[in-house]
Structure 1
Amino acid sequence: MFALPPRRLSAITLALLAVHAFAEETPPESPIHLEADEAVAHSRTEAEAHGNVVIQRDTTEVRSEWAQYNSETDHLKAGDAVTMTREGDVLTGNSLDYYINANRGTLENPDYHVAQGVARADAVKLLFDGPDRYKMRTARFTTCPVGRDDWYLHASTLSLDYANNVGMAYNGWIQFYGVPILYSPWMNFPLSGNRQTGFLAPSVSFDNRNGIDLQTPFYWNIAPNYDATFYPRYLADRGTMLGAEFRYLQPSYSGQIRADRISDHKDEQDRYSIAFLHQQQLLPRLSMYAQVQKVSDDDYFNDFGDQVAAASQTNLPRELTFNYAGNGWSGLARWQRYQTLQSESDPVDIPYARLPQLYYASSPQWIKGANISITSEYVDFSHPTKVDGQRMWINPTITYPLVQRPYAFVKPKIGVHASYYSLNDSETVEGENSSRVLPTFSLDSGLIFERDDTFNGQAYTQTLEPRAYYVYIPYKDQSNLPNFDSALTDFSLAQIFSENRFSGNDRINDANQITLALTTRFFDGDTGEERFNATVGQRFYFQDQRVTLDAYEKPSTAQESDLLITFGGRLWRNFVANYALQYNLKEQVTARADAGIGWSPGEGRAFNLRYVVNRNVSPIIEQFDISGQWPLTRNWYGVARYNYSLKDSRSLEALAGLEYNAGCWALRLAAQRYINDDSDTDPDQEKYTVTYFAMLELGGLVGLGSNPVSTLRQSIPGYTDMLTTNSIR
């Protein structure tokens, strides 16, 4: 044992002396660097320092008034205003008892500041429980900055395990502005965006369908590629719903299963929903896709889903599909049927089942420079009330570009569409076996002119693009053929440059027509971004259109189609405008128009206005829609949407809300009202759904209430979530 005389030494001298004293025995994994005003080495393994002590190893630094270190046990004691920094975390306290390599020990009366200052905590005692693991006794935790005590999580024991991304609080309760708002004997929360097992934030909402709606989901992180979520849900007016979802992911397959069930007190029946989805790569070129959806009754989504679910869930698929990708060809085999959800006021046509559907497509390279396509299909259609049977068709086509230049193109295309039907006994369709063979020809051509210019000192490039598209298909009577999957396509600029105005394969229009269109575009000369475009187009018929969708429809004798005009783009900074018009020149009336403007000058700032009229459908649609998000004061944001039917003089959807961002906590309030069941026979009996949202988010820790973010994103184009929070570390 030896001792140094008690005297002040420079930090550099003490650092070198400490390294020399501790290095003669088996050294630790990394050297210890010691700086202090005074130091005493009691042996080759023990040293003591006083005054402005700084001890460093790797990413750990300890500052204190005094310190004792044993290099053999790697044991450090320090006291009187200890400050410890570990990987950005800052811990202060009265006394430290710590084994450096093991990352174990205690810190008395700690204050804990998480790396980058996104969270902090204090406690009576802190226990180091291994790398990136802390336990605190009688602790408080918050993400509010120093000087703001808006909310705290209190716990008798608080565990922060950054290695496994989980925080746990035992006998925990949350205090918001001094008021306790939630207690739990055990709660856990994520420390980053990664997933973890535990209860998710409860969701509470209220609507006029179900009353109070409380959901307390539990998430089970089974493995990196498996998880499950359980959804116990209490609806005050209906009872308790039990739901669960299981997800799985493997290198060659993935999928999910979800099921919900409730004994509905209001409707006095058992109601349920089942959804199954599976995707799998069976072989390098063979894949499989399967899905099954089923609900107990037609009103399930109206009663238990949101507006999007109620509107979109009409035909629930049950299908099994196999896809094969060959060299230059592909094939598909599918078995498909649906559960169709009906509405008393708006009955839905039940689609045909395909049992099975076999599809083939190839692009052989038989002629250099030509684009050859061969597609074919076999389907066995089944329907409970309509004529059904089997349909086969093949459609080979060849396109040979005569001119293909940056400034011009001429592309003739020829093909044959051959179909054969084998029908079951039917009284509505003549004959059990029918066939149809139709040749098709089209010629697509266009020019592209460019010029460079400037406007208000800004360089731009303008194009002028005339285009002509001719189609010839001879007439063939198809009134004796069934209609399994054909419908009249929506008239648009995309449709007038297609051969067939019908979708599906049961109707092929006769055609002797030409489409003429003119497009101009303006591109930013510096960035190349398209700033504006405008197109005008019209189709001209050289003969009557005799093929109709149904036998009772009259052939069209029009010599020209409606005029189509579209224009729009980013006209100025963040201001976007678009307009589309379908105009009937013969009757001089607007058949359809869609006009919209959008302004988004920055995050949290969006304004949208849209007007739509469509006289091509029955009943006629005429609506306007206004929506937006805007800052009201420094921390308050307002959100709103109003969708109104001018034809019916009624609101279709109204939404309003407020969002408050305090930095370490946020509040969302919103209310939404929309039509749930539209009755044309008795408008007074329209059923509206009114839903109220309220969500309190406490930093990255927990959210209490029902979150309207998904609803706001669907309703307000350009909506920005201004209340997102960072992970706790």
Structure 2
Amino acid sequence: MSATILPTADRAATVLPPRRAWALRPVAAAVLMTTAGGGVLIDVARAQSGAEGPGLQVSPESGARFGPLIKADDGGGPLVIEADRLSGRPDLETLAEGAVEFRRGPLLLKADRVEYQQQSDLARATGNVEISRNGNIYRGPEVQLKVDRFEGYFQSPSYHFGRTNAGGQADRFDFLDENRGIAYGATYTSCPAPDPAWLLSTDRVLLDTAAEEGTAEGAVLRFYGVPILAAPTLSFPLTEKRKSGWLPPSIKLDNKSGFELGVPYYWDIAPNRDATLTPSVMTRRGAALDTEFRYLEPGYLGRVQAYALPDDQVANRSRWALNLGHEARWEGATVGEIDYGLALQRTSDDNFWKDFAGTLPSLTPRLLPTDAYARRRFDHGWGDTVAYTRVQTWQVLQDIDPASRIVSPYQREPQIGLRQRGASGGLEWQWETEANRFSNDDPSLQTGSRLHALGSLARPWSPTGAPGWTLTPRVSFNAASYDLDQSLADGRRRASRVIPTVSLDSAWIFERDSTAFGRELTQTLEPRLFYVNTPYRDQTGLPNFDSAANDFNFTSIYSDNVFSGVDRVSDANQVTAGVTTRFLDRTTGAEALRLGIAQRMLLRTQRITADGTPITQRWSDLLLLGSTNLVRNWYFDSTVQYNSDTSRVARSISSVRYSPGPLRTLSTSYRYTRNASEQVELGWQWPLNAPAREHAAAVQARDAQMLEDFEGRSRLAPLAGCPGAWYTVGRVNYSRRDSRITDSIVGFEYDSGCWIGRIVAERLSTGRSQATTRLLFQLELIGLSRLGSNPLKVLRENVPGYRLLRDDSPVVAPALSTP
């Protein structure tokens, strides 16, 4: 063996002969690097030669400590030892004592004393041993480890896993290799010792990082000493990789089905396919099965959900629901790329949506569509052209109460069309032609076929020297031809009409710098004039398959037709005038304030209306809008429809939200329609005590840190909870016209620091005097799993500004499986 004294600023290099004794003043730590021949090269920095001796002896002077010397890696990875005292024999053994730090690659071992046998690559550490590797920390009195192969044992270790911010203790931990380990008598929790609130204890745990799986035997989960879950074998993923097995049970309680217990089984069929089967039992209705199958292929993807209740003990019949979605793309040499898909929702009966609230994923749970489509896009120089075909049918869930019944929409069987939009030479155009076959389950409604064509041609123009002004003349037409199954009032079964429209749209945008509330702002002034002329064509005798009156708002007031769809076109000779001003923050570009006003003036009576009554009122209702967040933490938004003839508000929507930071939101909305409805909505998520307020402040500080260091956000440690923090969440809709609460959600969340409890009561109105009430409760064990029913989806969809208490903490949902 040879040793080299590296030079310092005031000393030249010195080469020592082999096997010469050393006595060094304060130096850098020894760096042991395995060579190709198996020998070890020891380099020491800033050393001074001393007396001879039989081996290597390195001792500090004046309490100094040896620091590491980092050398280039030769391929095997450097092994670095740092200690107060180093001794040993070259190529045989090294003894490190006093605050030892032993490093190789991702492994860092700390101890009071470390013996390292170089030939066998065996390290034995005793006294306050700590191993850090890949974010995981093990502590204990003694460890013996073959460093390169990572084989050995740890006596009575405690451990902490950085990914889940949780850990435990074991009687013994055996390292089988760098990927596998066995813990005997192991525990796991994220709660502080000595009396953790929840504790998972096992007889034996095998961890296999190569297979990304852990398997525990004799697992028992206790919550405050009470066993709440047990399994002979508990398998769980060590990463985000999916794994087959039983998932934590779900618990539900409602006034329709009683107490429900479900135990989901997850089946990882393939990397691109999986399924979840959830058998459940309800105290009032019996046993049910809920299934979901997902697939993802290079050319298509989809999901199939099915719910089956073979024998409903309340309804005395079988109940079921089906929901599937499929999207695909087919590529052919002659036809090119064709997108196609299918969406289907169906149930066994009209009352399913009432009895099983939340089972149907639909915004309109009483209108369940079946929609099959195919479309082909053409790429050429004449614009964007799409050919399409579609079949759309509906299942309407009716109510026995006549006042609650709804009109069944028409079914398209089929719909075939071609549409295009494009621009060239300053002109903009769009057109479509379409054939439909309309049918309806209601025999009293007209059915038949319709062929229609729509088109428009516009020429946007910006005058020279006026970049903030645009003038857009447009001509358009709406043509339709009908072939009906029932005769019209005049005995005809065929009818047609063509309705032209001319419009002129003029818009300006002016800007200036401004200052308000201590903020540098840019103010815009955006006036707009819109003229439209559509001649009157009598449409009273024609069928109405797909038209309805548009909502009167700041978008529709600038449209040339007050109806959606094709079958109705409003006659018009009118001018709409409006102006909007916005204040934009010059630093961020965010909108701080918006104000607007708009009104329509009729130049002649409008005869085609939604209710058939001509509109003779010269001036339409006045639209006013305002929104702002100029006042810190406050957000205001309001739209008012004012009738100047009656000097009354016809309709208004106003909302106020106060949000001083994350986890702190109060909002209220007021919706009013004269002679129709009046509703007040209140929503909130708010801390109830001092620990909750401290936790919310910590989340706000973390958010600010993440915004400042966006790229380094992944390096931030998971935010811990705040023991004893209470929050309340909810949303309540109250109808002043009916003097009753229609829909409501009220709940509480409690963060103990290592577990979160949630309880939420939901009331969903299913009729004027009917409602479904559900009680959702969940126990989230931080770092392990969530147990119970899941109220998080309900809270996210219904509580404005809702945020998870621990949205940055990882949660691993273990699967219980028997190999």
* TM score, norm. by length of structure 1: 0.91
- In 1, distance between residues paired with 2:613 and 2:490? 19
- In 1, distance between residues paired with 2:648 and 2:40? 97
Q: Summarize the Cα distance change of 1:407–1:60 in structure 2 as closer, same or farther, 3 Å threshold.
A: same
Match of 1:274 in 2: 322
Give the superposed CA RMSD. 2.9
Is residue 628 from structure 1 mapped to residue 684 from structure 2 by the alignment?
yes
Is residue 410 from structure 1 mapped to residue 471 from structure 2 by the alignment?
yes
Match of 2:386 in 1: 330
Q: Summarize the Cα distance change of 1:140–1:179 in structure 2 as closer, same or farther, 3 Å threshold.
A: same
Question: How do residues 119-198 of structure 1 correspond to structure 2 at under 5 angstroms?
Answer: 119-145=166-192, 149-198=196-245
Residue identity in the other structure for 2:753? G
Match of 2:790 in 1: 707
Residue identity in the other structure for 1:379? N
Deviation readout 1:104-125 (Å, 9 max, x if unpaired): 3322211112237811221011
Is residue 360 from structure 1 mapped to residue 418 from structure 2 by the alignment?
yes
Residue identity in the other structure for 1:623? Q
Q: Summarize the Cα distance change of 1:31–1:636 in structure 2 as closer, same or farther, 3 Å threshold.
A: same
Secondary structure of the equivalent of 1:363?
A: strand
Is residue 351 from structure 1 mapped to residue 409 from structure 2 by the alignment?
yes
Q: Summarize the Cα distance change of 1:481–1:426 in structure 2 as closer, same or farther, 3 Å threshold.
A: same
Q: How far is the alpha carbon of 1:171 from its aligned partner?
A: 1.4
Task: Decide whether the 8 Å contact of 2:357 with 2:772 is kept in 1.
Answer: no
Q: How far is the alpha carbon of 1:688 from its aligned partner?
A: 2.4
Task: Decide whether the 8 Å contact of 1:228 with 1:244 is kept in 2.
Answer: yes
Secondary structure of the equivalent of 1:313?
A: coil
After TM superposition, the structure 1 stretch with the greater mean CA deviation from structure 2, 703-712 or 369-378, is 703-712
- In 2, distance between residues paired with 1:646 and 1:160? 60
Secondary structure of the equivalent of 1:712?
A: helix
Q: How far is the alpha carbon of 1:483 from its aligned partner?
A: 0.9
Match of 2:595 in 1: 534
Match of 1:51 in 2: 97
Residue identity in the other structure for 2:754? C
Is residue 601 from structure 1 mapped to residue 660 from structure 2 by the alignment?
yes
Match of 1:485 in 2: 546
Q: Summarize the Cα distance change of 1:582–1:165 in structure 2 as closer, same or farther, 3 Å threshold.
A: farther
Residue identity in the other structure for 2:647? Q
1:695 pairs with 773, 778, 783, which one?
A: 778
- In 2, distance between residues paired with 1:709 and 1:31? 49
Match of 1:421 in 2: 482
Secondary structure of the equivalent of 2:353?
A: helix
Match of 1:440 in 2: 501
- Where structure 2 has 5 or more consecutive residues not aligned to the other structure, the ranges are 2-17, 42-73, 692-724, 813-819
Match of 2:52 in 1: none
Q: Summarize the Cα distance change of 1:308–1:225 in structure 2 as closer, same or farther, 3 Å threshold.
A: closer
Secondary structure of the equivalent of 2:186?
A: strand
Deviation readout 1:505-532 (Å, 9 max, x if unpaired): 0111111111111212122233332111
- In 2, distance between residues paired with 1:277 and 1:414? 40
Task: Decide whether the 8 Å contact of 2:742 with 2:764 is kept in 1.
Answer: yes
Is residue 373 from structure 1 mapped to residue 419 from structure 2 by the alignment?
no
- In 1, distance between residues paired with 2:102 and 2:811? 27
- In 2, distance between residues paired with 1:66 and 1:448? 76
Is residue 213 from structure 1 mapped to residue 264 from structure 2 by the alignment?
no
Match of 1:647 in 2: 737
Residue identity in the other structure for 1:718? G
After TM superposition, the structure 1 stretch with the greater mean CA deviation from structure 2, 52-61 or 133-142, is 52-61
- In 1, distance between residues paired with 2:752 and 2:479? 67
Match of 1:638 in 2: 728
Is residue 389 from structure 1 mapped to residue 448 from structure 2 by the alignment?
yes
Q: How far is the alpha carbon of 1:66 from its aligned partner?
A: 4.9
Match of 1:228 in 2: 275
After TM superposition, the structure 1 stretch with the greater mean CA deviation from structure 2, 172-181 or 211-220, is 172-181
Q: How far is the alpha carbon of 1:579 from its aligned partner?
A: 1.2
* TM score, norm. by length of structure 2: 0.81
Match of 2:38 in 1: 23
Task: Decide whether the 8 Å contact of 1:19 with 1:33 is kept in 2.
Answer: no
- In 2, distance between residues paired with 1:510 and 1:642? 42
Residue identity in the other structure for 2:97? G
Q: Summarize the Cα distance change of 1:126–1:375 in structure 2 as closer, same or farther, 3 Å threshold.
A: same
Question: How do residues 291-330 of structure 1 correspond to structure 2 at under 5 angstroms?
Answer: 291-306=343-358, 312-327=364-379, 328=383, 329-330=385-386
Q: Summarize the Cα distance change of 1:129–1:8 in structure 2 as closer, same or farther, 3 Å threshold.
A: farther
- In 1, distance between residues paired with 2:489 and 2:307? 42
- In 1, distance between residues paired with 2:461 and 2:32? 87
Q: Summarize the Cα distance change of 1:183–1:439 in structure 2 as closer, same or farther, 3 Å threshold.
A: same
Residue identity in the other structure for 1:624? V
Q: Summarize the Cα distance change of 1:529–1:62 in structure 2 as closer, same or farther, 3 Å threshold.
A: closer
- In 2, distance between residues paired with 1:433 and 1:195? 60
- In 2, distance between residues paired with 1:586 and 1:115? 69
Q: How far is the alpha carbon of 1:128 from its aligned partner?
A: 2.0
Q: How far is the alpha carbon of 1:372 from its aligned partner?
A: 1.4
Task: Decide whether the 8 Å contact of 1:387 with 1:428 is kept in 2.
Answer: no
After TM superposition, the structure 1 stretch with the greater mean CA deviation from structure 2, 174-183 or 623-632, is 174-183
- In 1, distance between residues paired with 2:518 and 2:661? 25
Deviation readout 1:250-281 (Å, 9 max, x if unpaired): 22211011111002111111011111111111
2:516 pairs with 414, 432, 455, which one?
A: 455
Secondary structure of the equivalent of 1:714?
A: helix
Alignment: residue pair count? 713
Secondary structure of the equivalent of 2:795?
A: helix
Task: Decide whether the 8 Å contact of 2:511 with 2:525 is kept in 1.
Answer: yes
Secondary structure of the equivalent of 1:232?
A: strand
Residue identity in the other structure for 2:102? I
Residue identity in the other structure for 2:641? Q
Match of 1:683 in 2: none
Q: How far is the alpha carbon of 1:14 from its aligned partner?
A: 7.7
2:620 pairs with 561, 577, 597, which one?
A: 561
Q: Percent identity?
A: 34
Q: Summarize the Cα distance change of 1:677–1:235 in structure 2 as closer, same or farther, 3 Å threshold.
A: farther
Is residue 471 from structure 1 mapped to residue 528 from structure 2 by the alignment?
no
Residue identity in the other structure for 2:806? L
- In 2, distance between residues paired with 1:128 and 1:727? 26
Q: How far is the alpha carbon of 1:21 from its aligned partner?
A: 12
- In 1, distance between residues paired with 2:455 and 2:36? 88
Is residue 339 from structure 1 mapped to residue 395 from structure 2 by the alignment?
yes
Is residue 718 from structure 1 mapped to residue 801 from structure 2 by the alignment?
yes
Residue identity in the other structure for 1:375? E
Secondary structure of the equivalent of 1:23?
A: coil
Q: How far is the alpha carbon of 1:34 from its aligned partner?
A: 4.1
Deviation readout 1:172-230 (Å, 9 max, x if unpaired): 11222333332222334444555333322222121111111222212222222211111
- In 2, distance between residues paired with 1:543 and 1:229? 62
Task: Decide whether the 8 Å contact of 2:495 with 2:542 is kept in 1.
Answer: yes
After TM superposition, the structure 1 stretch with the greater mean CA deviation from structure 2, 61-70 or 195-204, is 61-70
Q: Summarize the Cα distance change of 1:18–1:426 in structure 2 as closer, same or farther, 3 Å threshold.
A: closer
- In 2, distance between residues paired with 1:530 and 1:33? 57
- In 2, distance between residues paired with 1:429 and 1:168? 79
- In 1, distance between residues paired with 2:406 and 2:226? 53
Q: How far is the alpha carbon of 1:411 from its aligned partner?
A: 0.6
Task: Decide whether the 8 Å contact of 1:279 with 1:290 is kept in 2.
Answer: yes
Secondary structure of the equivalent of 2:323?
A: strand
Match of 2:697 in 1: none
